[in-house]
Structure 1
Amino acid sequence: MRQTSAAAWVAATAATVLLVTGCGSSDDGKPVAQRNAAAAGSQDINAHPLSDIKQGGTLKLPISQYIADFNRYTANGNQGDAAEINELVEPNLFSADAKGEVHLDPDFLLSAEVTSAGPQTVVYKLNPKAKWSDGKSLGWRDFEAVWKAQNGTDKAYEAANTSGYDQISKVEQGADAHQVKVTFSKPYADWKRLFDPLLPAAAIDTPDKFNKGWLEKIPITGSAFKISKYDKTAQTITAVPDPNWWGTKPKLDSITFRALDYTAWTDAYLNKEIDYASALLPEDYKRLAKAAGTDIRVGARWDEVHIEFNGARGPLKDVRVRQALQHAIDRKAIATAFGKDLPVKLQTYGSHFFMPNQAGYQDNSGAYGTYDLKKAGELLDAAGYKLQGDKRVKGGKQLTLSYTLSSGSTSAQVDQAELVQAQLAQAGIKLDIAKVPANDYFSKYVTIGNFELTSFRWVDQVFRSEAYPIYRQTSGKNLYENYGSVSSPEIDALLKKASATTDPAAANKLYNEADARIWALGHSIPLYQRPQILAVRSKLANYGASGLEDRVDYTKVGWLK
């Protein structure tokens, strides 16, 4: 199952700190054999040709919460479940394969190419068969509407990510009604990530439509599936094939998304209420691996678990306090705790932009990401928090922070918070764990910066520039995706320069330079690369651990004959 690059999902960790020596222990006392993470480019999806798949059937999938906003281009809609459902029913112009290589989708695009380098100009040739559910053909006005909503010029649009769009100078019709010409003011290397998914102009061409027109519903669709039912009472959203679809006919009769607390997924799978569940937590893996008719599908993807620091409030406004946290939190202990009793080894890493198995990766944590209680103490001393007994005190008050946690968290997510709490206590810092309602976690806490520490994931960042809004400077109440409001003009400038650098090696050098500054500023602390370990019905084809592929082709998913 995929989540988008901008998906913010709560991270999961395991309970106790035990050394990983190549194997853990199972519930019957036998060791769990551990292997290295799956190689980049590999998949475990039970691949089959369409001829092997029967026509019909329902696919039942869990989501972490009922969807409040389906517009994935807004901050509140920029959540993994919302984005996946949006992309199921809207045109996806490009997608990455298992190796991370990007290709156009011929159902929507006949071609897309840079026709001029000065200025950079891209011409898209749309498939004439492609239409919206209101009967209109996909056209240049749709591209124009996405650009105007996303380029940051009109602050009334609550855009989550303006990068790339703010480098476009003009969007216009090409040679005919099925061509679109996009002209850039300066080069943009990752132009294929733009307008993807494409949204209809009729549903986003005013700030009111863009910001509010996608709340709890999708107004217009344009793909193989459409939404047939929103049931807030049952917490389900049902998609069915669109009879007007011009491409390959889907095999499934319907896909039902059901909002469930993550803690309920394993039982729901075992009760055959859903057809997929994460087997990433050891206690879940042990139960799911023994379930009849179940495959454990394992893969490697761009998936990082991190702890976010809020530099806009309280003691964390001081960079020295944020740096101290980076030294007081033992990342290796957290990864070790999480990885015990799993079939895949975990590793910490030192980059905000690259996974360890990616070209361009280098560890930029340097002097800022080491576990070093002495250094943490020196930084806290410099910030005025002096050690009195076992407490760090300033102005007569102990240094106290809060860790925001969803009430729908798994025991392992709670364990991570408690492990961080114990680690910070060793540095004299008191950490209060604040549980908030699961359905409010993102919209009322994370995405509006209403926290001090919290932990979630960024996934599937095939295009490096997708990370720009995570580390860019905020603008008033618009946090973009930099929910902790930690950045600098230097970081902003480096990331803008990197996004305009078309030579990959030169761009990677700039991203690594920016990464070193991000570590020094104490933006967030990457913990470990999270593997894909999924329990999936054995009869389900073309679904599972997709590796670097960034979206599921649901026209190919179905049940074997």
Structure 2
Amino acid sequence: MKRHQKLMGIAALGAAFALVMSGCAPAGNGGGDNGEGEAQTVEGADYNPQPRENLAEGGELRIPVSNIAEQLNYFHSDGDARVTQIATWFRPQILLMDPDGTVKKNDAYLDDYSFGIEDGKTVLHFKVNEKAVWNDGTPIDVTAFKATWEANSGENEEYQPNATDGWKEIESVEAGENDRDVIVTFKGEFAWPEMVYSQLLHPDVNTPELFNTAFLGDWHPEWAAGPYTVDEYDKTGGVVTLVPNEKWWGNAPLLDKVSFIQMEPTAAVNALRNGEVDMAETGSAELLAQVEGLEGVETYKGQATGNAIFTLNSANPVLADLNVRKAIFEAISIEQVKEIVFNGLNYTEEPAGSLTLFSFQPNYVNALEEAGRKDGDVDGANKLLDEAGWVVGDDGIREKDGERLSLVFPNHSDTETARARSLAVQAQLKEVGVEVTIDTRPSADFAEDYTTQNGDIFFLSFTSSDPFGAAWFCQLYCSDSGLNLSGTGTPEIDKMIHEELETISDPEEQTKKAMEMESQIFAETWGIIPVLNGPEIWTVKEGLANLTPEPYSGLDLFGITPVENVGYEK
């Protein structure tokens, strides 16, 4: 279910893609109390959970999203968190999750779900509901489980999956008593069997060409299955409209219509004020101020399960040197960035020193600190750049062999918070002789810009769909990962992950080993570092319940609930 981490462009934060890529907006006030008393942390989920019997039938839900990527296959490496957010409403959710990360079957799709050790190997058992069918009439059975595994396993390198973690550990997918009885056998004892099969791929998507290209600009609702279906997709206008699916066999969806509308974060808040959308991300003081006193809405604050990060594009020759990248990361003051992002939100948090675990999880270690990084260390950064042969020129910018130490920093957000954050980084790096050009771009461009590395420094968010952090370690740090595009992975790191980490079958021991490795990898690559987590803050129409059924996004920690249960209180 943390099937993969996802890139997010950071909305109020300043553009989050979800890796999926997605827009996450942390809240808080790292810079003090702003006269509101001592800064507070945000803990747990906050999303108005309600049983179906408390909710009315009917109504419309209009959700703003920062971007809709061209790649609409959420298993693909270019699919982002917003694609997953939207597609979850009309593609199979066969496994659900409580906010704390406890996995359970979705009764609409599965009659039974279990796993255990059999003959020294971890084995998953699924019994699919005999009513479950794809929209084109194809039964949901072992063929879908096989197609999903084959596309994500990494065996056929022509497929471009978001992650092979977990999938590559599977030995076979076979039918049991019948095709609805699915048996998934791993190669040995495997620590994280619940990480796979939260969602399924239609069995007709059975070639690399279809997997990689069929979903470009096309949702393919015939290859979907769920309470809703795609009624209309205005690609130019960035609007996806969903309606109840006549072929759905489970509990009827409560809403008459669900729309996802692409817009910038400031525009989304204005649209909420004007009654044009029913929820908006309000994760900064400037956005919260826009909804202060607004009638008919409620604001929810939950602990975000995402990391805002900085990445560097090592394909740029000026960033090829490890010590140059380390110097840039040391010159940046994360504490100042947090003060800007959390300003006015009366929020504080523990340092986000890991991309594997959050500070509220057991066995968390501040791996970034362990790697030896010092925050805002101007002297240390200058020393590293001097040693690397970069000489300060007359205008204060360093040069080497006739080339300036100049970087492009894309900013995919229209908020003042994002602008202030970018200007702070620009000033911090100028202090050590690094020229930074801020290039403000539409949020809609984020996915393409990141996946093509159209820039040198990126500020974005990795958001997690489950708590199994170590399970996805390769997705973060392997050299062929479609998530970490810094280009700083190495064959030696790959070998270490595969031979020393992934061979550990005990989840706790593997997690402890991952935390040890993470600090080593930071020190050997300096291509990607965590910055902050933040809270998730949304202002929504009063009475809206079960707000965030999709993974990677929302106010319910790791929770995934049935989309048909989203609705308005009676």
Q: Please say whether Structure 1 and Structure 2 have the same fold, judged by a TM-score greater than 0.5.
A: yes
Q: Is the 8 A contact 2:12 2:418 kept in 1?
A: yes
- What is the deviation of 1:97? 1.2
- What is the aligned partner in structure 1 of residue 431 from structure 2? 426
Q: Deviations over 1:317-343 (max 9, x none)?
A: 111111111210000011011111114
- What is the deviation of 1:96? 2.5
2:563 alignment partner, one of 541, 554, 558: 554
- What is the aligned partner in structure 2 of residue 132 from structure 1? 134
CA separation of 1:267/1:436 partners in 2, compared to 1, >3 Å: closer, same or farther? Answer: closer
- What is the aligned partner in structure 1 of residue 209 from structure 2? 208
Q: Is the 8 A contact 1:323 1:522 kept in 2?
A: yes
Q: Tell me, what secondary structure is at the counterpart of 1:89?
A: coil
Q: Counterparts of 2:237 and 2:193 in 1: how far apart (Å)?
A: 40
Q: Counterparts of 2:50 and 2:144 in 1: how far apart (Å)?
A: 35
Q: Deviations over 1:120-171 (max 9, x none)?
A: 3322222222111111211111111111111222222222211222222222
Q: Counterparts of 1:499 and 1:292 in 2: how far apart (Å)?
A: 52
Q: Give the aligned residue type for 1:7.
A: L
Q: Is the 8 A contact 2:306 2:461 kept in 1?
A: yes
Where do 1:177-192 residues align within 5 Å? Answer: 177-192=179-194
Q: Is the 8 A contact 2:31 2:339 kept in 1?
A: no
CA separation of 1:245/1:252 partners in 2, compared to 1, >3 Å: closer, same or farther? Answer: same
CA separation of 1:7/1:249 partners in 2, compared to 1, >3 Å: closer, same or farther? Answer: farther
Q: Tell me, what secondary structure is at the counterpart of 1:534?
A: strand
Q: Tell me, what secondary structure is at the counterpart of 2:427?
A: helix
Q: Give the aligned residue type for 2:55.
A: I
Q: Counterparts of 2:131 and 2:374 in 1: how far apart (Å)?
A: 52
Q: Is the 8 A contact 1:92 1:197 kept in 2?
A: yes
Q: Is the 8 A contact 2:93 2:562 kept in 1?
A: no
Q: TM-score scaled to structure 1, two decimals?
A: 0.91
- What is the aligned partner in structure 2 of residue 435 from structure 1? 440
Q: 2:484 aligned with 1:482, yes or no?
A: yes
Q: Is the 8 A contact 1:4 1:83 kept in 2?
A: no
- What is the aligned partner in structure 2 of residue 458 from structure 1? 462
- What is the deviation of 1:369? 4.4
Q: Give the aligned residue type for 2:526.
A: G
- The list of structure 1 runs, each at least 4 consecutive aligned residues, that deviate by more than 6 angstroms after superposition, is none
- What is the aligned partner in structure 2 of residue 276 from structure 1? 279
Q: Is the 8 A contact 2:175 2:181 kept in 1?
A: yes
CA separation of 1:21/1:231 partners in 2, compared to 1, >3 Å: closer, same or farther? Answer: closer
Q: Is the 8 A contact 2:12 2:281 kept in 1?
A: no
Matched-pair identity in %: 26
- What is the aligned partner in structure 1 of residue 75 from structure 2? 73
- What is the aligned partner in structure 2 of residue 43 from structure 1? 45
Q: Tell me, what secondary structure is at the counterpart of 2:183?
A: strand
Q: Counterparts of 2:29 and 2:565 in 1: how far apart (Å)?
A: 42
Q: Counterparts of 1:98 and 1:500 in 2: how far apart (Å)?
A: 28
Q: 2:404 aligned with 1:403, yes or no?
A: no
Q: Give the aligned residue type for 1:449.
A: Q
Structure 1, gaps ≥5 residues long: 25-30
Q: Deviations over 1:437-483 (max 9, x none)?
A: 5433322x211233211111011242222342221112xxxx52121
- What is the aligned partner in structure 2 of residue 469 from structure 1? 475
1:504 alignment partner, one of 502, 507, 528: 507
- What is the deviation of 1:13? 4.2
Q: Deviations over 1:209-248 (max 9, x none)?
A: 1112112222211111111111234421111121222222
2:386 alignment partner, one of 381, 384, 388: 381
Range with bigger deviation, 243-252 or 462-471: 462-471
- What is the deviation of 1:33? 5.0
Q: 2:334 aligned with 1:331, yes or no?
A: yes
Q: Counterparts of 1:5 and 1:431 in 2: how far apart (Å)?
A: 29
Q: Counterparts of 1:402 and 1:67 in 2: how far apart (Å)?
A: 22
Q: Counterparts of 2:13 and 2:58 in 1: how far apart (Å)?
A: 38
Q: TM-score scaled to structure 2, two decimals?
A: 0.89
CA separation of 1:467/1:415 partners in 2, compared to 1, >3 Å: closer, same or farther? Answer: farther
CA separation of 1:76/1:143 partners in 2, compared to 1, >3 Å: closer, same or farther? Answer: same
Q: Give the aligned residue type for 2:194.
A: K
- What is the aligned partner in structure 2 of residue 391 from structure 1? 397
1:525 alignment partner, one of 506, 523, 529: 529
Q: Counterparts of 2:11 and 2:473 in 1: how far apart (Å)?
A: 18
RMSD across aligned positions (CA): 2.3
Q: Tell me, what secondary structure is at the counterpart of 1:298?
A: strand
- What is the deviation of 1:208? 1.9
Q: 2:150 aligned with 1:144, yes or no?
A: no
- What is the aligned partner in structure 2 of residue 251 from structure 1? 254
Q: Counterparts of 1:275 and 1:552 in 2: how far apart (Å)?
A: 19
- What is the aligned partner in structure 2 of residue 27 from structure 1? none
Structure 2, gaps ≥5 residues long: 15-27, 549-553
1:240 alignment partner, one of 223, 243, 267: 243
